[in-house]
Every structure is written in structure tokens, then in C-alpha cells.
Amino acid sequence: FWINSTVEELNVEGNSIGIDGANALAGALTRNQGLSKLCLKRNNFRDRGVAMLAEGLLIGQRIADIDLSENVLTERCGQDLLGLMQKTPCIRCFRISYQRGQSNCSTGFQN
């Protein structure tokens, strides 16, 4: 197994990696020791993709800044994000603004 200790920022904005990509990325995040900023904006994640990522982030526990803006998230993923924030003190900022197809999901929160 490889362990990331050198890459500090990863921006995969607009790649539409979807659920399968979220699953693969979640596995990679479990072996993270260097990544502190992750931009996943406009990747067609849904609540299930966020749940997968949350599992990987709980194990990796290094990322401080995550951008999930402009995905297809509903209020259901809020529980996963809240649990992640509570269990991972290094996360200081989540951006979840403008969720396509949602009228009330336009805010970010900071820890």
C-alpha cells in the first residue's frame, strides 16, 4: 500500500467522478498523511458518494478544508457531514454551497 505524505492539495473540480470515483477516492483518503485541502466541486456526488468519502476521511483525518459545492446533495447527507465534523477535529471548513436541484442548500459552515 502507498501512503500519501507529499501531496497537500487536490483539486478534481468539474471531473464528474460520481459515485464510483467517490468510492475510489475514499479508499485513497484512508492512506492520507499529507493532504490538507480537497476540492470536489462539481463532481456529481450524491448523498451516497458523500457517505463513502466521509468514511475515508474519518480514517485519514488530515484534511482541514473540503469543498463539495455544486454537487447533488440533499439534507440527508447533512448527518454524514455533521458526524464527520464532530469526529475529525482537523476539519475547519466545509463548503457545500449551491447544490443543483436544491433551493435551500446554499450555506457552508466552519468548525
Closest by alpha carbon to 79, among 46, 51, 44? Answer: 51
pLDDT of residue 66: 92
pLDDT tens digits, residue range 47-77?
888 888 888 888 877 889 999 988 888 878 8
Enter the pTM of the model.
0.80
Query: What whole-number distance in Å separates Cα of residue 61 and Cα of residue 101?
Result: 30
pLDDT of residue 12: 93
Dihedral pair phi/psi, residue 107, rounded to 5°: -130, 155
Ranges of residues in the chain whose predicted pLDDT is under 70:
1, 99-111
pLDDT of residue 101: 57
pLDDT of residue 103: 42
